[in-house]
Amino acid sequence: MKHIDSHLHVRGESQYVDDVPPPAEMLHAAVYGSPCAHGIIENLDLEKARAVDGVMAIFRAEDLPGTNCFGPIFQDEELLASSEVNFIGQPVAIIVAKTPEIARKAREEIEAEISPLPVVVDPRVAFKNGDFVDQPRTNSMGDVEETWKDCDFVVEGRCDMAGQEHVYLETHRARAIPREDRCLQIFASTQSPAALQSAASVLLGLPIHKIEVDVKRLGGGFGGKEDQATHWGCMAGMCALLLQKPVELVLNRLEDIQMTGKRHPYSCDFKMGLTKEGKILAYDVSHYQNSGAFADLSTPVLERTIVHSTNAYYIPNVRVFAAPCRTNLPSNTAFRGFGGPQGMFVIESAINKAAEVIGMPAEEIQAKNLISEGQYLFYGQPIKNCTIGRTWKQTCEDFDLEGVRQRVKSFNEENFAAKKGFALMPICFGISFTKYFLNQGNSLVHVYLDGSVGVTTGGIEMGQGISTNMATIAARTFGIREDRIKVESTNTTRVANMSPSAASATTDLNGNATICAVEQILDGMKEVALVELGVEDKSKVQIVDEVVFYDGSESVLTWEELVLKTYMKRRRLSAHGYYSTPGVYFNPQKGRGNPFAYHVFGTSLIEVTVDCLRGIYTIDQAKIVHDIGRSINKTVDIGQVEGALAQGLGWMTLEDLQFGEDGRCLSHALSTYKAPDVYFMPDDMEVRFLEDSTNKFGPLGTKAVGEPPFMYGIAVFFALRNAMKAFSPKTQFEFNSPLTPERVLMELHKDIPLIPAPAGKGVLVDS
C-alpha cells in the first residue's frame, strides 16, 4: 500500500485548513507581535488601526473571556501579552478584518510604546543571571570525579549548537466557527488537538466539551505544531467567540518564523576520560539549553537531552548537568529528536576530540564503546533487544567502510584543495514519552453495513503516514482489504484527551489501540460466525482475505455477509480501543527509571568532499542500516528515515538560524534560512532495514521511526571536520554547528592571517 493520501496529494486535492471553502461571512485575523525583545508595554495606540476600512475588531489581553495563562508543562505564558513582552514577535494584539490584507495593513498602523528591559539571548548569560524556566538538574551514575585519575586520557571541550527552524511547508493556521450555545469548532493545523482544546477552555472560560477541535492533516509538523499550534487555534477561537463569526488565522512565512519557537540552541561543556585502548570510563557534560522566553516544552526536551547524553555507548561513570536557561527568544519547542540530537552531538564531539588526542580513528572509539544487551544506561534502564552492534557491523560491511577509508585516503593524497572525509553515527533512541502519563492511545472503529470501516484515532496525519499505518493495522487485524478502511479526521469529540502526535510513538499508541478496538468487534463477529457455521471453538475462527475460515478451512461466509449478520444479531460493530504502554515510569527528580518501552538502533555512514579553497562542500553518500523491527509499510518507513536524515543533515550544515543581540531573528525568511534542496542531498543514498528484528511493543512488530533517523545526520559534521583535518591537520577545529560554508572557510583559514582590513570602510550591503 502507498501513502493513503498520495493520490489526492499529487492531484492537489488534499484539503488543508484554508483549502476548505469558507463559511459565509468569514473574517480574517492577523497578529501584532512585540517589536521589542524585552520590555513593558506602556501604551498601545490602536486608534489608527481601528479606523482602517474593513477592520472589524482589535483584541488585546483584557478581551479574553477566561484566564490569560496557559502552557503545556508550566502555565507561565499569556496568549496575548498584557504588560511585559519577552521576545520579538510575541503576540500582543489581534486584528480581525474582512481580508487578511486589510488586517495586515491595519497592523502597520499600530504604535507601541515599550520601556525596554535588558535583553538576553545567550543561555550562558541567563545561567549566570540565574534565570531559568525550571530548576537545573544533575543526573549521574558512578562517580566521574573519582574516575579521572584512572584514565589514560582526559579531554575537555565546548560545543555550541544553533537552533533549527521547522520549515513545515504549511505555516500555522486555524479556522474557528462559532456554534450554538457558545460552542466553538476549531479546524487547526496542530499535532495536539487536546492541548489546543484544553488551552482554549482555560483562555476562553468554556468547559472543554464546548470546544471541538478537528484536524484532517498537516502540511508538515516536525514538532513545531506539537505545542505551538495551540496559540493560533486559541486566537482564532477567541475572535470567533467574541465576534460570533467564523474567523481564520493564517500566518505567513515571515510571521511564522518570527513568532514561533524552534529547536533549542545549546551551549555545552564536556569532559571525557578514556583508557589508552579507547574505552570510555567517564563522561561529564553540562548542557545550557536556550529555552527561550517561556517554559513551553523545554523541560521535557531537556530531559531527553539528559537521557540521550551517552547516545549508544555504555559508560560506567556519567554525570549530566542540565539547565533550561530563559532568554528573550521565542520559546523554543519540540522538533524531531526532541533534545536527543543535542545530547548526542556533544558526546560525538567528545569522542572526536578524544580520537585526536589519542591518535585513534573516532570510529574505533565508537565501536569499542557500543552498548550491549543487558548493560545499563545511566538513568537506570537496561538495554533489551540490543541491535546496535548488528547495525554497526552491517553498515561497515554492506557499505564497504574499508573501501571508503582507502578511497578517501588516496583521494586526499592526490588532491590539494579538495578533501574528502567520512564518519559513522550510531544511534540509540528511546521510545515513549518521558512524561510517562502521555503513553496512552485511543481508537474508535466503526464497521458499516456495507463492510466499509471508519477509523478515528488520536493520531495526527502530518505526512508521516499514521493514516496509512492505521489503515494497514485495521485491515490486517480484521483480515480485510485496505481499501475498505477510511481513516477519519482526528476530532476531539470522537477521541478525548489524546496525547500529541509526537515522540515517534503515534503509530505505537494509536495502532495498539486500534488493534484493541478491532479485536473487540471481531470477538462478537466470531461468535456470530460460530452460530452461522454451526461450530464451537471461537479461537479457530479467522478472517482471511475477507472470507471466514474455521480451523484453517475456508467457509462460505464472507466479510460482507458476516457484517450484516452481526448487525442483525444485534452485536457491536463499533468499538473504542484503549492502549497504555506497560512498564514505563520515570522519576525526573532522581533522573532514574524505565522511561522507554524500547530503544531504536541504527548506524549511518556519511562521506563528503570539501572544496577547501571556497569552503563549500558536497555530501557524496549517505548510507544507513536501521532497525525498524518488522516494517508495517516499507515505503512509509523508508520515507521517514530519508526525510529525517535530510533534516539532520540540514541542522548540522546549512540551516543557519541567526538572532541579533537585540533578539531579532535575522534569518526569518526562506531567502535567508536555507533548508536542504534536491541538489544538497546526495544522489547516492541508501537505507537498509535490519533483518530478523521484531518488537513486542509495536503494533505488528514494528518500531517507531519518526525521530531516530534524524540523528544519522550528525555524522555529516564529523565527516566535514575530518575532511578539514585532511587539509589542515594541525588546526584545532571547533565543535560548533551548523558547519556552514562560512564556518568551514573561516576555520580552515584561522591559522592563516588575512591582510588586515583598512579601518572605517563598512557600508550597508543586503539583498
Partner 1 sequence: MVYKTKFILNEQLVETDCAPGMLALDYLRRQEWKTGTKEGCKEGDCGACTVLVGSLQEDESVRYEPVTSCLLPLGELEGKHLVTIEGLNMTELSPVQKAIVEEGGTQCGFCTPGIVVSMNGLLMDKSKTVDLEGIKYALSGHLCRCTGYRSLKSTATLLSERLGEHLTADDRLSSLVAAGALPNYFVEIPGMLREIAPEPITSENGNGLKKADFLIAGGTDLYVQAGEKIPDAKVQVLNLLPGMKGINRVNGHYQIGALTTFEEFGNSPEMQEVIPDLGHFIHLIASWQVRNRATLSGNIINASPIGDMTALLLALESELILQEAGKERIVALKDFYKGYKQMDRKKSEILTAIRFPAPAPGTKINFEKVSKRTCLDIASVNSGMLLLVEDGVVGKIQFTLGGVAPIPLLLCETGGFLSGQPITLENARRAIEITQEEIAPIDDVRGKADYKRLLAKQLFIAHLTKLCPEKLKVREFYDL
Q: Interaction with partner 1 in 657-716: which residues (CB under 8 A)?
A: 658, 666-667, 669-672, 674-681, 683, 685
Residue 256 CB, nearest approach to partner 1 (Å): 10
**Which of 385, 452, 594, 728 contacts partner 1 by CB under 8 A?**
728
Q: What is the 3-state secondary structure (H, E, C) of 32-87?
A: EECCCCCEEEEEEECHHHHCCCCEEEEECHHHCCCCCCECCCCCCECCCCCCEECC
- The answer to whether 12 contacts partner 1 (rule: CB under 8 A) is yes
- The answer to whether 25 contacts partner 1 (rule: CB under 8 A) is no
In the complex with partner 1, which residue's Cβ is closer, 43 or 767?
767
Residue 463 CB, nearest approach to partner 1 (Å): 3
Site string for partner 1, 323-362 (x = CB under 8 A): ----------------------------------------
Residue 674 CB, nearest approach to partner 1 (Å): 4
**Residues sharing a CB contact under 8 Å with residue 718, sequence separation 6 or more, in sequence order:** 348, 352, 362, 421, 423, 425
Q: Nearest-CA neighbor of 425 among 161, 649, 731, 658?
A: 649
In the complex with partner 1, which residue's Cβ is closer, 556 or 763?
763
Site string for partner 1, 214-253 (x = CB under 8 A): ---xxxxxx-----------------------------xx
β partners of residue 440: 580
Stretch that binds partner 1, among 359-367, 472-480, 493-501, 614-622 (CB under 8 A): 614-622
Residue 633 CB, nearest approach to partner 1 (Å): 9
In the complex with partner 1, which residue's Cβ is closer, 459 or 676?
676
Residue 517 CB, nearest approach to partner 1 (Å): 26
Site string for partner 1, 250-269 (x = CB under 8 A): --xx----------------
CA–CA separation, 475 and 515 (whole Å): 10
CA–CA separation, 653 and 606 (whole Å): 13
β partners of residue 623: 605, 686
CB atoms inside a 10 Å sphere around CB 399: 21
Q: Which grid coordinates belong to 87?
A: 521576545
**Which of 32, 392, 727, 735 contacts partner 1 by CB under 8 A?**
727
Going from the C-alpha of 103 to that of each of 8, 46, 98, 110, 113, the distances in angstroms are 32, 12, 8, 11, 21
Bridge-based pairing state of the strands 418-431 and 598-611: antiparallel
Q: Which of residues 38-67 bind partner 1 (CB under 8 A)?
A: none
707: annotated active-site residue? yes
Q: Nearest-CA neighbor of 321 among 131, 127, 152?
A: 127
Q: Which of 170, 226, 248, 707 is catalytic?
A: 707
In the complex with partner 1, which residue's Cβ is closer, 242 or 645?
645
Q: In the 8-state DSSP scheme, what is residue 17?
A: G
CA–CA separation, 747 and 598 (whole Å): 40
In the complex with partner 1, which residue's Cβ is closer, 453 or 646?
646
Q: Nearest-CA neighbor of 314 among 345, 342, 347, 358?
A: 347
Go through 341-372 and write b for each residue having 16 or more CB atoms within 10 A of its CB, e for each that does not.
Answer: bbbbbbbbbbbbbbbbebebbbbebbbebbbe
CA–CA separation, 129 and 120 (whole Å): 10
**Which of 357, 397, 613, 662 contacts partner 1 by CB under 8 A?**
613
In the complex with partner 1, which residue's Cβ is closer, 594 or 731?
731
Q: Which of residues 457-496 bind partner 1 (CB under 8 A)?
A: 462-465
Q: Which of residues 392-451 bind partner 1 (CB under 8 A)?
A: 416-417
Stretch that binds partner 1, among 180-188, 494-502, 601-609, 734-742 (CB under 8 A): 734-742
- The answer to whether 742 contacts partner 1 (rule: CB under 8 A) is yes
Q: Nearest-CA neighbor of 444 among 477, 488, 476?
A: 488
- Per the CB < 8 A criterion, the answer to whether 137 and 312 are in contact is no
- Per the CB < 8 A criterion, the answer to whether 317 and 283 are in contact is yes
- The answer to whether 104 contacts partner 1 (rule: CB under 8 A) is yes
CA–CA separation, 403 and 396 (whole Å): 10
CA–CA separation, 309 and 266 (whole Å): 13
- Per the CB < 8 A criterion, the answer to whether 466 and 505 are in contact is no
In the complex with partner 1, which residue's Cβ is closer, 168 or 338?
168
CA–CA separation, 470 and 441 (whole Å): 12
- Per the CB < 8 A criterion, the answer to whether 731 and 750 are in contact is yes
Residue 98 CB, nearest approach to partner 1 (Å): 12
Residue 271 CB, nearest approach to partner 1 (Å): 30
In the complex with partner 1, which residue's Cβ is closer, 21 or 359?
21
Bridge-based pairing state of the strands 280-292 and 266-274: antiparallel
Residue 650 CB, nearest approach to partner 1 (Å): 9
- The answer to whether 8 contacts partner 1 (rule: CB under 8 A) is yes
Q: Nearest-CA neighbor of 701 among 600, 608, 610, 630?
A: 630
Stretch that binds partner 1, among 175-183, 212-220, 294-302, 430-438 (CB under 8 A): 212-220
In the complex with partner 1, which residue's Cβ is closer, 101 or 554?
101
Stretch that binds partner 1, among 129-137, 205-213, 456-464, 488-496 (CB under 8 A): 456-464
Stretch that binds partner 1, among 14-22, 347-355, 372-380, 395-403 (CB under 8 A): 14-22
CA–CA separation, 655 and 729 (whole Å): 27
- Per the CB < 8 A criterion, the answer to whether 592 and 436 are in contact is no
Residue 24 CB, nearest approach to partner 1 (Å): 15
Residue 636 CB, nearest approach to partner 1 (Å): 7
In the complex with partner 1, which residue's Cβ is closer, 24 or 556?
24
- Per the CB < 8 A criterion, the answer to whether 26 and 244 are in contact is no
Number of residues that bind partner 1 (CB under 8 A): 94
Site string for partner 1, 627-656 (x = CB under 8 A): --------xx-xx--xxxxxx------x-x
Helix H or strand E segment including 255: helix 253-259
- The answer to whether 5 contacts partner 1 (rule: CB under 8 A) is yes
- The answer to whether 555 contacts partner 1 (rule: CB under 8 A) is no
Residue 17 CB, nearest approach to partner 1 (Å): 11
In the complex with partner 1, which residue's Cβ is closer, 367 or 675?
675
Site string for partner 1, 491-530 (x = CB under 8 A): ----------------------------------------
- The answer to whether 746 contacts partner 1 (rule: CB under 8 A) is yes
CA–CA separation, 540 and 289 (whole Å): 56
In the complex with partner 1, which residue's Cβ is closer, 148 or 680?
680
Residue 642 CB, nearest approach to partner 1 (Å): 4
Q: Which of residues 152-181 bind partner 1 (CB under 8 A)?
A: 166-171
Residue 11 CB, nearest approach to partner 1 (Å): 5
CB atoms inside a 10 Å sphere around CB 294: 24
Stretch that binds partner 1, among 16-24, 192-200, 483-491, 585-593 (CB under 8 A): 16-24
In the complex with partner 1, which residue's Cβ is closer, 85 or 636?
636
- The answer to whether 767 contacts partner 1 (rule: CB under 8 A) is yes
Q: Nearest-CA neighbor of 171 among 339, 17, 319?
A: 17
- The answer to whether 24 contacts partner 1 (rule: CB under 8 A) is no
What CA dihedral angle connects 502, 506, 509 and 515, to 10 degrees?
A: 170
Any idea which residues carry the catalytic annotation? 707
